[in-house]
């Protein structure tokens, strides 16, 4: 909780860095580098479980991955992404959010303007990260949101509504940067952008995207800081060749009795 209050205090002072993780080793690396937040996102569905979108992800899958991420992180607060159909009612939301905390999360993320649910969670001492703009759990298409004035106003209103409920931060996904500036200036919670431009209080990317694990470059906002797809492909191809031609295992990698 204290660590999430630190996130609030960073607003307007220091940029907030969040990345997703889905397993122990990646959580350990992120924790060692030192970032502000680890999100166990329901992007898990696409980048780890091979689903077409986030809509097939279950609460059990999210809890399993949150538990193993928590094992890898000593210092970095972990946010569990509440999957679709895990917060249809206040009762369901409370039960499931508590399970996230039990497996090691420090807070949960809720997509959209679910004011009743968010209020109940916050009133029960569960830190909530909001999520506004493109909402993958319900979106019919993955396109920029808030381009026209009406949609931009709806997104702005949603952000200010959930801000009043004391969410500790708000993810802004795929909206024009002038809209995210307007929201960032208007809300007291720090905003964390993904495809939302330069003016947010922090930035988040899906770790697999920024490490270039997929062959496809992904959406415009994704910057690939590595090309792990190429690195891994080369390493596996070399291993295959060396085993086939007898170069591996060599003397150095063999026990001698």
List the catalytic residues.
173
Q: Tell me the closest approach of the beta carbon of residue 18 to ligand KIV, in angstroms.
A: 8
User: Does 163 help bind ligand KIV (rule: CB under 6 A)?
Assistant: no
Interface pick for ligand KIV out of 132, 194, 200, 210 (rule CB under 6 A): 194
Farthest-apart Cα atoms in the chain, separation = 76
Q: Closer CB to ligand KIV, residue 61 or residue 81?
A: 81
Any contact of residue 61 with ligand KIV (CB under 6 A)?
no
* The one among 108, 155, 206, 222 contacting ligand KIV by CB under 6 A: 206
Nearer to ligand KIV, 36 or 42 (CB): 42
Interface positions, 96-155, toward ligand KIV (CB under 6 A): none
**222 touching ligand KIV, by CB under 6 A:** no
**Segment interacting with ligand KIV (CB under 6 A) among 34-42, 68-76, 84-92, 96-104:** 34-42
| Residue 81 in contact with ligand KIV, rule: CB under 6 A | yes
Which range in 37-45, 92-100, 157-165, 238-246 contacts ligand KIV by CB under 6 A? 37-45
- Per rule CB under 6 A, is residue 42 in the interface with ligand KIV? yes
- One of 7, 16, 19, 20 touching ligand KIV (CB under 6 A): 20
Q: Is 211 in the site for ligand KIV (CB under 6 A)?
A: no
| Contacts (Cβ under 8 Å, ≥6 apart) of 130 | 109, 110, 118, 159, 162, 163, 167, 169, 170, 171, 189
Q: Minimum Å distance from CB 3 to ligand KIV?
A: 19
* Residue 185: HSE in the Cβ half-sphere, 13 Å Cα cutoff: 8
Of 22, 37, 41, 135, the one binding ligand KIV (CB under 6 A) is 41
Confirm or reject binding of residue 43 to ligand KIV (CB under 6 A).
yes
For ligand KIV, the binding residues (CB under 6 A) are 20, 39, 41-43, 81, 171, 173, 194, 204, 206
């Amino acid at each position: 909780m204290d660590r999430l209050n630190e996130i609030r205090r960073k607003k307007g002072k220091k940029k907030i860095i969040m990345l997703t993780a889905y397993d122990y080793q990646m959580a350990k690396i992120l924790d060692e580098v030192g970032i502000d937040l680890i999100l166990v996102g329901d992007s898990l569905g696409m980048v780890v479980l091979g689903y077409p979108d986030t809509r097939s992800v279950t609460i059990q899958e999210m809890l399993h991955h949150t538990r193993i991420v928590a094992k890898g992180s000593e210092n970095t607060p972990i946010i569990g992404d509440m999957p679709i159909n895990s917060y249809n009612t206040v009762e369901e939301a409370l039960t499931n959010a508590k399970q996230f905390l039990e497996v090691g999360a420090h807070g949960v993320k809720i997509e959209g303007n679910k004011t009743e649910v968010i209020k109940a969670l916050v009133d029960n001492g569960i830190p909530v990260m909001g999520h506004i703009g493109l909402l993958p759990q319900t979106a019919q298409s993955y396109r920029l949101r808030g381009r026209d004035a009406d949609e931009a106003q709806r997104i702005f209103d949603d952000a200010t509504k959930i801000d009043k409920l004391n969410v500790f931060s708000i993810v802004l996904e795929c909206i024009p940067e002038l809209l995210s500036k307007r929201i960032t200036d208007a809300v007291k919670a720090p905003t964390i952008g993904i495809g939302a431009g330069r003016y947010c209080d922090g930035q988040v990317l899906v770790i697999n995207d920024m490490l270039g694990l997929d062959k496809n470059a992904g959406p415009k906002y994704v910057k690939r800081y590595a090309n792990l797809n190429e690195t891994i492909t080369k390493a596996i191809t070399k291993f295959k060749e060396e085993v086939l031609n007898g170069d591996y295992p060599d003397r150095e990698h063999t026990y001698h009795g």
